[in-house]
Structure 1
Amino acid sequence: MPYKKKQSTILTKCRERAMNLQVIHPNLDLGNGLTMKTYQAAIDTHQANLDNYNRAISTITELALSFEESDKMLRDINERMLLGVGAVYGKDSKEYGTAGGKRKSEVVQARSRARSNPTAQKSTVPTKA
């Protein structure tokens, strides 16, 4: 379940434009704060933000995979604990029921009630005569 890292097409475009503007003049100043230094600083800031974002995505992906693995392991241990109680005390014991299992006698009773009373399953809607 890896998350997708971002790429920035505008960053690529800006780096290329910055190289082309350097050819015009290394310290180009177009007025109103439009200088090569401010342009390069904005590019560098965006690159740093992108790098931080992608590092965070890598960390989140790693944590998500670790959590899924831990979740599977805990589910397995949980199931094995219940099976262990069933093996030691029996699946019809009060301990098995206390551990969260469905006692065998409770399951059998539910089945036998349904079989012994077949009319309980049918709908008793009165019909018009």
Structure 2
Amino acid sequence: MSRRKRSSPVLQKAVRRAAGMDSIDPNLNVGNGLTLPAFSTLIETMRTKENAYNSALSNLDKLYSEMLQTERELGDMTEHMLMGVGTRYGKSSVEYGMAGGVPKSQRRRRLRGESSTSSSQQPSFVLSVDGNGNGKKQAVTS
């Protein structure tokens, strides 16, 4: 998603006012250094800076897209490198662990239905049966 370009409402207002003042007198001078040529110069300076800012945003968007593409390529190559070490030395080797993989001998097998949290955090369930033979499951924490 590209960044939103800036459009200055102050600049637009100043351009409209300068056009109106230009119709009064192209060399309007209201005193204290407030002249229409100085006003027009400041308008052009602002327009130049706004254009430079919007161009910089476009360049930043391009750099960001290129960086994301390179990041995806790096992630793929990282995975391929680990698979290569696993193929060359075996997934149970010390080298595989040194490359960042988890050797098969250190993997923990999960039982079907077991979540990723440790069993010490899981509550135990006890089935109790009342006198009528109705069963009820109750959580027991230890």
TM-score range, shorter chain: 0.7 to 0.9
Whether 1:47 and 2:47 are equivalent positions in the alignment is yes
Aligned to 2:3, the other structure's residue is in SS state coil
Amino acid at match of 1:79: E
Residue number in structure 1 paired with 2:35? 35
Distance (whole Å) between structure 2 residues aligned to residue 74 and residue 41 of structure 1: 49
2:64 counterpart letter in structure 1: A
Runs of 4+ in 1 over 6 A off after TM superposition: none
Q: Over aligned residues, Cα RMSD in angstroms?
A: 1.9
- For residues 76-102 of structure 1, the C-alpha deviation after alignment (integer angstroms, 9 at most, x for no partner) is 000011011112221111111111100
Q: Deviations over 1:33-55 (max 9, x none)?
A: 11011100110111111011111
Task: Measure the CA separation in 2 of the matches of 1:103 and 1:2.
Answer: 43
SS at match of 1:92: coil
Cα deviation digits, residues 55-93 of structure 1 (max 9, x gap): 111111111111111001000000011011112221111
Aligned to 2:90: 90
Partner of 1:58: 58
1:19 Cα shift?
Answer: 1.1
Q: How does 1:1-129 map to 2 (within 5 A)?
A: 1-107=1-107, 110-111=108-109, 121=120, 125=142
More helix by share: 1
Query: What amino acid is aligned across from residue 18 of structure 2 in structure 1?
Result: A
Higher relative contact order (CA 8 A, sep 6+): 1
- 1:100 aligns to what SS in structure 2? coil
TM-score for both structures, normalised by structure 1: 0.82
Aligned residues: 117
Paired AA for residue 72 in structure 2: K
SS at match of 2:41: helix
Give me the whole-angstrom Cα distance separating, in 2, the residues matched to 1:83 and 1:16: 65
Identity among equivalent positions (%) equals 39
Gaps in structure 1 of 5+ consecutive residues:
113-119
Separation in 2, partners of 1:103, 1:67: 32
